[in-house]
Chain A
Amino acid sequence: MTSLTAPRRTAAADTGSARTGRRPLSRKHREWIAAALFLAPDCIGLLIFVGIPMVLSIVLGFFQVSGFGSYTWIGLGNYRRMFSDPLFWSSLRITGIYVVVLVPLLFVISLGLGLLIKQKLPGIGVYRTALFMPYVISLVVVGLLGKFLLDDQVGAVNRAMEAVGLSGRSWLGDPSLALVSLIAVTTWVMMGYYMIIFLAGLQEIPQEYYEAAKLDGAGPWTTFRNVTWPLLRPTSFFVLLMSTVAAITGGLDLVYVLTQGGPANSTSLAIFYIYQQAFVFGEYGYAAAMGSFLVLIMVVLSAVIFALTRGGRFDDGE
């Protein structure tokens, strides 16, 4: 059947091209066009919703914007203001602590959970679902839950502490604890997502390697160090990069609901401060300048992560 239809199609194509005087597209060109068509919606979407706003935001950083349609060119004025704004530097410092604590914590907990739920245990699906569940809950709801759990007087956390003879703390009202509480709630929300990514990575590792390691007499730690860890490199890179980006640019919802940046600016992450300048104070130009600077920091940090992990590739001779 194939031998009958194929020449017929070619003949039709030949007739067509003879009629139009054009050569038929090669397979490579046809594939290229198909790929372009499939990619086009994504590219157009990215251009419209990410590319153009990003360029506009960078441009906006050179203007003083009233928030009511008035734009005044001030060159580097917003950037000069940014460099002399102690609250911006304070927010960057808080973001730095947040990233440095949250990213490794998320990494370790998610990997540990990934290893645990990879085990073939009865009812493992229930555990996987339970651990992933916080990720699908609205962050506003999570924030409110956190507020009730961490309440000074009647919160479950303080109640539990008092039950074991410890005195309760003001988790969200004490500047020395509020950021810790924010990190804890964020970890609880995000760990399920990265756990699933680690689980996917772990399931990609061929079982034969584990069997070979077992035959060689390797214990759990040696197996993890010599088999799991190196073969998880692409997944680890992905988790590291994504959680770092999420930590720098995310957190706004939870800060907004849990602390409003307080107490005494102790949870005012850079992203919250930028939000506040733009949408509470109407300083859109200044916020755009700070946003551009934050993107620059993120690009540099991503490049460092790429360089240190070689992009999660295996092609390094190992």
Chain B
Amino acid sequence: MLQHGNDAEPPRPPRRRSVLAAAAGAATALAAPALLTGCGAAGSGGGTLKFWNFYGPEHGPDPAVNRQSDWFTGIVAKWNATHRAKIELVYTPPQIYQNGSKLPTAFAAGEGPDIFLLSPGDFLRYYNGGVLADLTPHMDKAVIADYGTSLASRTVDGKVYALPMEVEPLAMFYDVGAWEKAGLSEGDIPTTWDEMLDRGDKLRSNTRAGLIFETGPGYYQNFTWYPWMWQGGGDVLDKQGDVSFDSKATRQALQLWSDAVRHGIAPRTLPAAGDVIGAFQGGNVGMWQQGIWNVASFKAAAPNFRYGVFKLPVPPGGRYVTSLGGWSFCANAKGRNPEAAAEFCGWALGTMEDDCIDRMVDWCIGAKSDIAPRTSALERGAAKGGYDSAVMKTFKDDIFPGGRPEPRYPPVVYKAISDAIQGTMLGGDGVAGAASRAAQSMAAYTKSYKGASLV
């Protein structure tokens, strides 16, 4: 060994330059694939289609959330078992999906999901951006009639670009205990705006808001305000798409919210940071304009809490209307495989097959508490007892029939309306000036607007 060692060249310690060179080489070798992978991801993506949503896969302590997640994982598993194009669910928390930048950023970067959930408020932006695939070829013809007016805000030139999975009407929720404590009975359920303000006044205390309207600016606030304007016969745009916002009906709807806040009947911020169930349970709410989805939340989180619902009251000479919200399935026309993505949407919600109808029934009365957007599913859900409870029966028979789908106004129109609501409700602006300013802003925009019909 000694001999051998003498023959061999003695090992030299590594020099600093070679160490640096080796480190740089190693770093480059490590970084290059990552960088190249990142660059190459655009558009390549493999064969699996991504379905972005805010329901699943997700499991937590809330049984309602778990049921909704199971519904999504169930339909995707069934599709994957019977189709070549595979789908993968990608969960994004609701707050980030509904109000955050993830979805728009993904589309801006050309990395939009293949299938995604869309609300009516966002429909036009995505349609005008050319990313919504036509779902009509993948639907049974009879389904269009079965959906009825639920498809109106998702249709352009007779073609369907989004398939609703639910209809979510707005109503007034109230705390039965607080109602009784204030000396009110069922006969005191308000049917007019004045009665509603009066009941709110009776229900309020230092720690309880009598009547709650949405206070935060955003699409949701507009959505909850529209019915008050519609009830007086007003509208944002007329049937020709011209601005008709500056009207008596608009001004009286703005005045209603303004008066409720000014007289201290409605609060300026939402109690319990907007946690509906928590606020009701904490005794901080008398009445709250809310959606049908809270029925499932009450059932899951506060099954013993006594609450009731009633139709939104109307102004003198007005006609009952409420807003109908709800999300829908869309396919990305610029995705990896638009054909398969559209086919999935049609398969999931757009055929007359029993499976398809049952799927919607399961969603609307099992996983959630919603009105089914298709007549067949609504009837089947009713037959299964999904609308037998007093609250769901009221929603199905009284509240939903007077509903009008959420409109699909673009951002500039939405913002003008939002500023009018915020300015009059919380900023002390006069209703006439606010309505007029909003109308002017919308008129300037609609003159140069290019895209699908706004109405």
Q: Which residues of A contact B (CB under 8 A)?
A: 37, 65-70, 87, 144, 147-148, 151-154, 162, 170, 172-175, 259-266, 275, 278-284
Contact = CB atoms under 8 A, between A and B. Distances in A.
Contacts of B267: 152-153, 170, 173
Contacts of B217: 260-263, 265
Contact of A175 (B105, B129, B427): B427
A65 B218 CA distance: 22
B422 A37 contact: no
Given A67-B107, A153-B206, A173-B426, A262 B216 contact: yes
Nearest to B23: A37
Interface of B: 20, 24, 99-101, 104-105, 107-108, 110, 125-126, 128-131, 206-209, 215-218, 267-269, 271-273, 282, 284, 334, 411-412, 415, 419, 422-423, 425-429
Contacts of A260: 216-218
Given A154-B272, A260-B216, A282-B125, 5 more contacts: A144-B273, A175-B428, A264-B426, A279-B104, A280-B99
A165 to B, nearest CB: 14
Contact of A151 (B20, B271, B425, B428): B271
Contacts of B218: 260
Contact of B215 (A69, A261, A262): A262
A261 B221 CA distance: 13
Contacts of B131: 68
Contacts of B411: 280-283
22 contacts: A66-B128, A67-B108, A67-B125, A68-B131, A151-B271, A152-B267, A153-B206, A154-B272, A154-B282, A162-B206, A170-B269, A172-B269, A173-B268, A175-B427, A259-B216, A262-B215, A262-B216, A262-B422, A264-B426, A281-B125, A282-B129, A282-B411
B223 to A, nearest CB: 15
A70 B125 CA distance: 13
B273 A153 contact: no
Contacts of B130: 68, 70
Contact of A152 (B99, B110, B271, B425): B271
Most buried by A among B101, B268, B273: B268
B94 to A, nearest CB: 14
A128 B108 CA distance: 44
A283 B410 CA distance: 12
Contacts of A70: 129-130
A174 B267 CA distance: 10
B104 A170 contact: no
Contact of B107 (A68, A144, A275): A68
Nearest to B217: A262
A264 B216 contact: no
A276 to B, nearest CB: 8
A117 B432 CA distance: 56
- Residue among A153, A173, A261, A265 with most chain B CB within 10 A: A153
A153 B208 contact: yes
A231 B98 CA distance: 51
A257 to B, nearest CB: 9
Given A263-B215, A263-B427, A153 B271 contact: yes
A264 B429 contact: yes
Contacts of B129: 66-70, 282
Contacts of B282: 154
B108 A154 contact: no
A152 B269 contact: yes
B271 A264 contact: no
Nearest to A67: B108
Q: Which of B107, B126, B422, B423 has the most CB of A within 10 A?
A: B422
Nearest to B108: A67
Task: Report the 3 A-B pairs with minimum CB-CB distance, sorted nearest first.
Answer: A173-B268, A264-B427, A68-B129
B422 A147 contact: no
A69 B129 CA distance: 8
A154 B268 contact: no
Contacts of B422: 262-265
A148 B129 CA distance: 39
A260 B220 CA distance: 12
Contacts of A175: 426-428
Contacts of B125: 67, 281-282
Contacts of B419: 87, 264-265
A151 B208 CA distance: 12
B268 A152 contact: yes
B420 to A, nearest CB: 10
Contacts of B427: 175, 263-266
A68 B215 contact: no
A279 B268 contact: no
Contacts of A65: 108
Contacts of B207: 153-154
B202 to A, nearest CB: 17
B274 to A, nearest CB: 9
A153 B419 CA distance: 25
A96 B448 CA distance: 33
A281 B267 CA distance: 28
Nearest to A150: B269
A259 B216 CA distance: 7
A85 to B, nearest CB: 11
B60 to A, nearest CB: 18
A154 B105 CA distance: 38
Contacts of B269: 147, 151-152, 170, 172-173
A154 B272 CA distance: 8
Contacts of A263: 215, 217, 268, 422, 425-427
A170 B100 CA distance: 26
A108 B131 CA distance: 52
Contacts of A266: 427
A153 B216 contact: no
Nearest to A284: B108
Contact of A37 (B20, B105, B272): B20
Contacts of B206: 153, 162
Q: Which of B108, B128, B129, B131: most chain A CB closer than 10 A?
A: B108
